[in-house]
Amino acid sequence: MSARGIMEPHDTVQLVLSVGKKYNMDVAALAELPLKIIALSVKFVSREELWAFCFGENAFVHWELVGMIPPTKNVLGGCGEWLGMLSFCHWEDLSKVEHEIANAHAPLAVLRRNLRESNLDTGGTDAWTMACRVFVLTLVQGLPCLTALEMLTCSYFKRNTRGGCMEFMAKQVIWGVGVCLLFFERFFS
């Protein structure tokens, strides 16, 4: 681990490969391995259904071993491991379709806007990469969101981002509550 609490690149690659081997995933397709690890680590979604949708039913994973993971854990580990793996993931191409994201994926668009309003937006092509990394961190089972968010943003901006992280999380909660209220209003009207 580095001084920032994020795994070193070489250690991260070794960990990702060992996780792939542990759950009998095809590690030859290294570029696909982080996506597979994310699919096996999400919360609130059927991991098997997500796996089948993303990789097809013929892509093998050892579901018995995956089923043995406690509900508060994931296949990769803690914040340092996830931030190490996510440092290899980039989404610069999303800036090319930014105008479509608001309609196609409203939660991601709102997340990006809330990052910007909380002074946590990186600007430029890295902005969507930061937004997607934050989005993945919120989906992963067993990661305390504030800690992971602070580690991610502090390592990027090289400053204390706790205030911005708290503001961002408050905005996310307010947006989520607003969506729920709107749904209930429409549903029960």
Task: Produce one character per residue of 115-149: b if its CB has 16 or more CB atoms within 10 Å, e if not.
Answer: beebebbbeeebbbbbbbbbebbbbbbbbebeebb
Q: Quote the pLDDT of residue 149.
A: 94
Q: Quote the pLDDT of residue 26.
A: 85
| CA 181/CA 9 separation, integer angstroms | 43
What does the pLDDT profile of the chain (189 residues) look like in tens digits? 565 677 888 999 999 999 999 998 888 888 889 999 999 999 888 899 999 999 998 889 999 999 999 878 899 999 999 999 999 999 888 888 888 998 889 889 999 999 999 999 998 888 999 999 999 998 898 887 889 999 999 999 999 999 999 999 999 888 877 776 776 677 676
Q: Quote the pLDDT of residue 21.
A: 92
Instruction: Output the DSSP codes for 58-113.
Output: TS---HHHHHTS-TT--SS-SHHHHHHHHTT---GGGGGGHHHHHHH-HHHHHHHH
Q: Quote the pLDDT of residue 17.
A: 92
Q: Enumerate the domain spans of the chain.
A: 1-89, 90-189
pTM of the model as a whole? 0.87
Instruction: List Cβ neighbours of 127 (8 Å cut-off, separation of 6 or more).
Output: 95, 112, 115, 116, 121
| CA 40/CA 130 separation, integer angstroms | 21
| 99-to-152, 153, 176, 179 alpha-carbon distances in Å | 26, 25, 22, 21
Per the CB < 8 A criterion, the answer to whether 105 and 112 are in contact is no
C-alpha angle 85-158-89 in degrees, rounded to nearest 5 = 20
**pLDDT tens digit sequence for 60-89:** 999 999 999 987 889 999 999 999 999 999
